[in-house]
Amino acid sequence: MHLHILGICGTFMGSLALLARELGHTVTGSDQNVYPPMSTQLEAAGIALMQGYAASHLQPHPDLVIVGNAMKRGIDAVEYMLNAGLPYTSGPQFLSDYVLRGRHVLAVAGTHGKTTTTTMLAWILDQAGLNPGFLIGGVPLCFSHSARLGGEVNAEKNYFVVEADEYDSAFFDKRSKFVHYQPRTAILNNLEFDHADIFDDLAAIQKQFHHLVRTIPSEGQIIAPITENHIDEVLDMGCWTPVQRTAIGENKADWQAELLHEDGSQFKVMHQGEEAGTVNWSMSGQHSVSNGLAAIAAAYHVGVSPQQACEALSNFAGIKRRMELLGTIDGIDVYDDFAHHPTAIETTLDGARKKIGQRKLWAIIEPRSNTMRMGSHKDNLAHSARMADEVIWYQPEGLDWDLSPVIAASTNSATISQQLEQIISRVQQQAQSGDAIVIMSNGGFGGLHQKIIAALKSR
């Protein structure tokens, strides 16, 4: 079957393209922005890529068009697809119909930590010899690709781990992606207001999460933190599935983590009050510990012992752009982090502070996500960055609101910069050996990461 994917270079759609190719389909795709690393990964898999969304990309007609959720009415390829009566579907629906059917699906949902927790869970199952399939919305450092079909170990152990996003499926299907996945094991990591471009309020997101809960069988399992009131409110709407609770240092939870180091680099796992194993890894921050604990609990539901899971996580390499150390220049550590929300900024910087101690911590932040660009979280931004000694907020041209109130509310040293060259020059002149610089954006940030590294090397 010839499949054409509109919006192929997004993390989800690109991963889906790899799965479709592995299934044996001929895959082509279009995107407004065709560039590495996704473009090179797709081309290496034998997938032809086209720039833009021209109607001609759908000639000759493919057997099926898979439509990314960035597509809108008025786009030439979309209008041609509809006028020509071409068969089409959403990415999540294709995943459900062609990949997930008949498999034990383990889904990871939540406002924060989905990519990391999905990768942790896939890694644990992989190291346990279960050869899981997976789809990860990021670039894992422990696997060669962001998606694979996996292999059937036996009829009862055919697993697929999927990052379960609450964003909508397509212009013709406004349900959250995860509603299509019908998991038997579901991690609900956390729940906050996000995606202000498609959700009016938190209640609208909770409604979608409850749609997910309704699809989980009574013989399945839900893993959720004991401290997340917004998830409790979802479960109170109706829950027909056993729930396992996780917590850090909370003895009422089914699964507990006891920190052996304040920065989260080592922790003990307790299950039903009994010591079950210890994780000693390169990750940091309580959010990482929470993610790891949830992955251990989910793996246990499919037969992986906590000890096996702890050993796997102790060898976990992490995810690109999640506190990824890009380099150390003259004693200055430069990190890349995907932070897309005030809570993500706060937990990342808290983990960084505990990791580096009293060394100077820089945070260079681009409020780039749709929700932050709309100013929905502006009242929380100053507080979220309080752990850094020096904060530089980047206000790009076209930002919908002024960052000045964030500076006024800051209790630490915080400034605004409207030019990347200013940021680079300041870091080049002022950063000293022992400093740690965390560059935070869910986009490319104009190549700032490598430009700062180059500037530090040239001093």
pLDDT, tens digit, for every residue of 375-431? 566 777 888 899 999 999 998 777 777 888 888 989 899 999 989 999 999 999 999
Q: How many whole angstroms separate alpha carbon 254 and alpha carbon 277?
A: 14
User: Residue 331 is which amino acid?
Assistant: G
Q: What is the pLDDT of residue 13?
A: 94
Both 255 and 135 in one domain: the answer is yes
HSE-CB for 429 with a 13 A CA cutoff? 6
Residues in the chain: 459
User: 10 Å Cβ neighbour count for 37?
Assistant: 12
User: 10 Å Cβ neighbour count for 335?
Assistant: 22
Evaluate if residue 145 carries a pLDDT over 70.
yes
Both 288 and 351 in one domain: the answer is no
Evaluate if residue 367 carries a pLDDT over 70.
yes
Give this prediction's pTM. 0.78
Both 9 and 75 in one domain: the answer is yes
Q: What is the pLDDT of residue 443?
A: 77
User: Higher pLDDT residue, 202 or 75?
Assistant: 75
Both 303 and 193 in one domain: the answer is yes
DSSP, res 214: H
Which of 313, 344, 369 is the last residue before a domain boundary? 313
Does residue 318 lie in a domain region? no
Both 401 and 348 in one domain: the answer is yes
Does residue 68 lie in a domain region? yes
List the structure tokens of 128. 């346990």
Both 154 and 192 in one domain: the answer is yes
**Binding site for ATP: what residues are annotated?**
110-116
Q: How confident is the model at residue 373 (pLDDT cuts 50, 70, 90)?
A: low
DSSP, res 98: I
CB 195 within 8 A of CB 69: no
Across the range 423-442, mean pLDDT stands at 94
Q: How many whole angstroms separate alpha carbon 251 and alpha carbon 407?
A: 40
Both 128 and 274 in one domain: the answer is yes
- Find the CATH number of the domain harbouring 218: 3.40.1190.10
Evaluate if residue 329 carries a pLDDT over 70.
yes
Does residue 97 lie in a domain region? no
DSSP, res 446: G
**Binding site: what residues are annotated?**
110-116
What sign has the CA pseudo-torsion 77, 78, 81, 84? Answer: negative
Which of 287, 313, 339 is the last residue before a domain boundary? 313
Does residue 319 lie in a domain region? no
Expressed as residue numbers, the domain containing 329 is 324-457
Average pLDDT, the chain: 90
Q: How confident is the model at residue 155 (pLDDT cuts 50, 70, 90)?
A: low
DSSP, res 62: P
Q: What is the pLDDT of residues 28-84, one digit of tens each?
A: 999 998 777 778 888 888 899 999 999 999 999 999 999 999 999 999 999 999 999
Highest mean pLDDT among 144-153, 190-199, 313-322, 425-434: 425-434
Q: How confident is the model at residue 2 (pLDDT cuts 50, 70, 90)?
A: very high
Please identify which residue in the block is written with the tokens 């949902």: 109
Both 114 and 134 in one domain: the answer is yes
Q: CA of 72: how far to CAs of 49, 280, 293, in Å? A: 20, 46, 39
First-to-last alpha carbon distance for the chain, in angstroms, is: 55
Q: How confident is the model at residue 156 (pLDDT cuts 50, 70, 90)?
A: low
- Looking at the DSSP bridge assignments, the partners of residue 440 are 337, 365
Both 220 and 340 in one domain: the answer is no
Number of domains forming the structure of the chain: 3
Q: How many whole angstroms separate alpha carbon 389 and alpha carbon 92?
A: 42
Q: How many whole angstroms separate alpha carbon 126 and alpha carbon 129?
A: 5
Evaluate if residue 371 carries a pLDDT over 80.
no
CB 302 within 8 A of CB 104: yes
Which of 91, 111, 143 is the last residue before a domain boundary? 91
Both 110 and 193 in one domain: the answer is yes
CB 168 within 8 A of CB 179: no
Across the range 9-26, mean pLDDT stands at 93
Both 427 and 299 in one domain: the answer is no
Does residue 109 lie in a domain region? yes
Q: What is the pLDDT of residue 153?
A: 58
Both 426 and 369 in one domain: the answer is yes
- Find the CATH number of the domain harbouring 46: 3.40.50.720
Q: What is the pLDDT of residue 285?
A: 83
Question: 249-265 burial string, b = 16+ CB within 10 Å, else e?
Answer: eeeebbbbbebeeebbb
